Amino acid sequence: MNSSGVLSIITFVYGLVGFCYIFAWTFKKPTVSKAATWVALIGLAGNIVGIVMRWVESYQLGFGHAPLSNLYESLVFFAGTIVLIYLVIERKYGNRVIGAFVAPIAFLAMAYASLSPNISDRIQPLIPALKSNWLIAHVIACFIGYGAFAVAFGVSLMYLMKQKSADDTGSMMSHLPDANVLDELNHQLVMFGFLFLSAGIITGAVWANSAWGRYWGWDPKETWSLITWFIYATLLHARLMRGWRGKRTAILSIGGFAAVMFTYFGVNLLPGLHSYGSF
Amino acid sequence: MDNQAIATDPLNKIWDFFTSVRLTIVILLTLAATSIIGTLIPQNQEPAAYFQAFGGFLYRLFDIFGLFDMYHSWWFQLLIVLLTINIIVCSIDRISANRRILFVKKPTFKLARFRNIKRKETFKDDRSMDQLQKVCQAFVKRHFRHSHIETTDTGCAIYGEKGRWTRFGVYTVHLSVVLLLVGGLIGSIFGFDGWVNIPEGESVSQVRLRSQERVLQLDFEIRCDDFDVSFYETGAPKEFRSSLTILEQGREVVKKDIIVNDPLRYKGVNMFQSSYGKMPSDRLVLSFTSAKTGMVYPLDAGLNQPLTLPEKLGTFVFKELRRSAKFRGHDIGDAYVGILTPPGGDPVEVILPLRFPSFDKMRKGEVRIAVVEQAQRFYTGLQVTRDPGVWVVYSGFILMIIGCYITFFMSHQQIFVELAASGKKTEVTVAGTANKSKTAMVTRIEAAAAKLAKSNPAD
């Protein structure tokens, strides 16, 4: 089996993980969520194997390059990053309900990569603009950042749901982590993501300067990454300096993730250098 | 009274306005929201294209607000200037307000402050005060940069502190943002951004600027010796390569092949591979077939150089390459055009379309002309820039990463271990403070207490 075959199986594994976490949370079955953790670990291992296989396959095709060069490959990496960050948090905080909100995002990313007819899973040689050592650093930094923001988005949704049902105990919501814990977790994830988003923008700027002679050109993808950076910078300042907590930071975190999604997908609808259409 | 006097001083009023973090939030969100506009309206297009797309009214409205080059419009630049002043003023204000915490040579500790900490770890130990003091002091010294011991009414207290310098992390990030903007400003004042097309074998010493309709004279020449493009089997481009030579007063000084992502840098000027194209050929090999004898004569034809044809068929001059040539109203693609003058006859225009090699047969003339070979010539398109601010920007980049790491993941920590005699045993209390991530500090204190309790060899 080739890498795309392995990765489409992982799509279903992640689907199963998401289902198990949601099922365990809804019907209060802790054993199911424990199983989900193990399945998630297996899925992550398979995800990594798929990426490595794809790397090897590209060398066998004679134009080897790191599998981080198109939408398919970035989505696969994105899904893996989300699951990895989630598993670290699960271990640190010992709460598996978060998985019900995060695993589906990883599943959707993988499903979009594997199942969408618009996304080719063919391994293609690199066009001249992408032949740079900065490619790997740029893509990895960006997607670690995006992964952290995706998890922060899930956590913020949980916060808003938890807050709405603050008074009724015994419901599904009472199994969510404490609101303060969610708020703190959101903050931690945003800081982590912000560091990597900054690194991603910076490596992209250095790369642009070596490829096109300009470190910043206000092309739509650059501009949208900066918009994302502004939103999360607002969140950090509002929280640390103005004492914003809870609902307002959760909404900013969700808004920030919407900007991430537009930077990632929406910008392809607009013209610019990142479309790689014109040399 | 004093406060009022300060508030009415206009300079202080302005200062106070810029110390507000609320202002920061407003500016950041405004920048985020307005930046969207320039991604929806394509920037720096021809005015005619905008006029057609938006109509007269919207065109004029957008034009007033500079939306066709909005990131360089006065109001967007004003927002950036406001943000910069805000960052600088806030940083200065906070550094001076916290100078007693930030600039300390030897930290001092107050017993009462630590005793007031609510979360403490306490345990009883059967080792002697002296023994414990040694163990605890060694622990604090190992993990904290500064340590200090003092005797108390009931025993002794050991303090430790580290990471005071990490309080500067946030100012490092702010400085990095200022550096980025200053670097950008230096680049836009002292740098340039231009482009030039150089045909293979030719050299240029002037480039066209992108922002202004102006030509810039370089103090050296760039020659393109060769251009090559290669493709993958899929048809996607694999590599664009230009062999460039830099000439100073006609003397070759530097030679380099440039590809995308590997530019040539000379005297602070950078030359990037950015596009290419085909030059109309100025040398052709043509075949002249005599209708009478059937003989075929291949001849070299240079642009505008008359050829005398054999068998007294007349003269032929190759005049131009005509793009999308027309023949009886039909587009027949690119065609070479020449003038044939038969002896004693009128000159006729001969069209030699590249797509139809035997096109000239249709003319039914004394001589049939066809293109055998054309010397293929490329030109290379170079992006030529100079940006003396780039190193300021790059130092900003490095400072931003370091600063963010310090600000988010490091903190100023203090620990406090008090030993008090309690009957035959010694009561050990461990407490600590940190300027951020306080929950992590609680865990650290718990771990420290557990480690100290475990250090008892008698257990």
pLDDT for res A271: 56
Are residues B207 and B252 both part of a single domain?
Answer: yes
Within 8 A of B231 by CB-CB distance, chain A residues are: none
Are B255 and B190 in the same domain?
yes
Contact A279 B275 (CB under 8 A): yes
Both tokens of B153, joined, read: 């009414």
Tokens 């390459």, located at residue: B321
What pLDDT is stored for residue B380 in this prediction?
93
Give pLDDT, residue B329. 83
Residue B170 lies in a domain: no
Q: Token match 């049902």: residue?
A: A165
At residue B281, the pLDDT reads 75
Yes or no, beta carbons of B21 and A241 under 8 Å apart: yes
Residue B298 domain-assigned (yes or no): yes
> DSSP per residue over B414-443, as a string?
EEEEEEEEETTEEEEEEEEEESS-HHHHHH
CA distance B204 to chain A (A): 19
Asked if the Cβ–Cβ distance from B408 to A195 is below 8 Å, we say yes
Chains A–B, number of C-beta pairs less than 8 Å apart: 118
pLDDT of residue A275: 43
Q: Fill in the DSSP letter of residue B157.
A: E
pLDDT, position B6: 53
The answer to whether A224 contacts chain B (CB < 8 Å) is yes
| pLDDT beyond 70 at A176 | yes
Given a cut of 70, is residue A168 above it in pLDDT?
Answer: no
Let me know whether B92 and B17 are in one domain. yes
Closest C-alpha to A129, from B135, B199, B259: B259
End-to-end CA distance of chain B: 66
Structure tokens at B450: 């557990």
A209 Cβ contact list (under 8 Å, min separation 6): A215, B390
Distances (CA, A) of A258 to A146, A160, A232, B63: 11, 16, 11, 30
The alpha carbon of residue B38 is apart from the nearest alpha carbon of chain A, in Å, by 8
Say which residues have a Cβ less than 8 Å from residue B170's Cβ, sequence separation at least 6. Answer: B403, B407
Which of the pair, B456 or A258, is modelled with greater confidence? A258
Q: What is the structure's pLDDT at B82? A: 94
When pLDDT is cut at 50, 70 and 90, the band that residue A236 belongs to is very high
B311 Cα to chain A: minimum distance (Å)? 50
- Do B270 and B383 reside in the same domain of the chain? yes
- Decide: A166 and A122 in contact? Cβ < 8 Å: no
- The string of pLDDT tens digits covering residues B424-439 is 888 899 999 998 878 8
Expressed as residue numbers, the domain containing B424 is: 102-163+411-454
Nearest chain B Cα to A210, which residue?
A: B261
Q: What's residue B117's pLDDT? A: 86
A207 neighbourhood in chain B, CB within 8 Å: 261
Which of B408, B441, B414 has the alpha carbon at shortest distance from B162? B414
CB < 8 Å to A189, chain B: none
* CATH number for the domain harbouring residue B225: 2.60.98
User: What are the tens digits of pLDDT across the range B44-80?
Assistant: 888 888 888 888 898 999 999 988 889 989 999 999 9
Contact check, Cβ <8 Å, B39/A212: no
Q: For testing the chain A interface, which of B261, B265, B435 should be mutated: the one with the most A CBs within 10 Å?
A: B261
Average pLDDT taken over every residue of chain A = 89
Residue B457 has pLDDT above 70, yes or no: no
CB atoms within 10 A of CB A1: 9
In a domain, B171, yes or no: no
Q: Total structural domains in chain B?
A: 4
Q: Do B39 and A205 touch (CB under 8 A)?
A: no
CA distance B401 to chain A (A): 7
- Residue B28 to residue A233, Cβ atoms within 8 A: yes
Helix (H) or strand (E) holding A55: helix A30-60
What mean pLDDT is predicted for residues B108-135? 86
- Mark yes or no for CB contact B261/A124 under 8 Å: no
Is B429 inside any structural domain?
A: yes
CB-nearest partner of A230 from B32, B193, B383: B32
Question: What phi, psi does B410 have (nearest 5°)?
Answer: -125, 155
Judgement on whether residues B389 and B450 belong to the same structural domain of the protein? no
pLDDT at A169 (0 to 100): 61
Tell me, yes or no, whether B387 and B420 share the same domain: no
For A18-40, what is the mean pLDDT? Answer: 92
B1 pLDDT tier (thresholds 50, 70, 90)? very low
94-153 in chain A: CB under 8 A from chain B: 124-125, 127-129, 131-132
Q: Could you report the per-residue pLDDT of B382-403, keeping only the tens digit for each?
A: 999 999 999 999 999 999 999 9
Sign for the pseudo-dihedral over CA of B300, B303, B305, B309: positive
Interface test with A, best of B19, B21, B25, B177 (most A CBs within 10 A): B25
Q: SS3 for B86? A: helix
CB contact under 8 A, A129 and B260: yes
Digit-coded pLDDT (tens) for A93-110: 888 999 999 999 999 999
pLDDT in tens, B341-397: 988 888 999 998 888 888 888 888 889 999 888 877 889 999 999 999 999 999 999
Residue A276 is predicted with a pLDDT of 38
Residues of B in contact with A192 (CB under 8 A): 408
- Please give the average per-residue pLDDT across B285-304, as a whole number: 88
Interface contact flag, B35 A259, Cβ < 8 Å: no
Quick one: what percent of chain B has pLDDT higher than 70?
97
* Nearest-angstrom CA–CA distance, B130 and B155: 10
pLDDT of residue B109: 82
Q: What's the pLDDT score for residue B52?
A: 85
Token pair for residue B38? 């320039």
Residue B152 pLDDT class (50, 70, 90 cuts): confident
**Do B395 and B250 sit in the same domain of this protein?**
yes
Q: d(Cα A127, Cα B260) in Å, to the nearest integer?
A: 10
Compute the nearest-CA separation of B187 from chain A (Å).
Answer: 10
Q: Is position B37 within any domain?
A: yes
Per the structure block, which two tokens stand in for B225?
């010796």
Contacting residues of B for A127, CB less than 8 Å apart:
236-238
Nearest to A273 by CA among B42, B384, B191: B42
| Residue B49 shares a structural domain with residue B183 | no
Interface contact flag, A63 B232, Cβ < 8 Å: yes
The Cα–Cα gap between B456 and B131 comes to 10
The DSSP call for residue B388 is T
> Could you say which DSSP state residue B42 is in?
P
Distance from CA of A201 to the nearest CA of B (A): 10
Task: Clarify whether residues B303 and B419 are in a common domain.
Answer: no
What type of residue is A19? F
pLDDT higher than 60, residue B250: yes
In a domain, B441, yes or no: yes
Cross-chain CB nearest to A184 (options B31, B393, B439): B439
Residue A166's pLDDT band (cuts 50, 70, 90) = low
Please state, in angstroms and rounded to a whole number, the distance separating the CA atoms of residues B64 and B48.
Answer: 16
A163 is written with which tokens?
A: 């807050």
- Measure the CA–CA gap between A193 and B406, rounded to whole angstroms: 15
Q: B459 lies in a domain? A: no
Is B186 in the same domain as B330? no
Confidence label for B458 from pLDDT (cuts 50, 70 and 90): low
Residue of A255, A254, A207, A202 whose CA lies nearest to A227? A255
Inter-chain residue contact A237 with B25, CB threshold 8 Å: yes
* Chain B closest-CA separation from residue A129 CA (Å): 6
Chain A positions in Cβ-Cβ contact with residue B275 (cut-off 8 Å): 279
Do B387 and B366 share a structural domain? no
| A176 vs A157: CA distance, rounded Å | 11
B244 lies in a domain?
Answer: yes
Judged against a pLDDT cut of 90, whether residue B326 lies above it is answered with no
CATH number of the domain where residue B156 is located: 3.30.310.80
Say if residue A269's pLDDT is above 80.
no
> Percent of chain B having pLDDT more than 90?
42
Average pLDDT in the B17-43 region?
A: 91
Are B262 and B183 contained in the same domain? yes
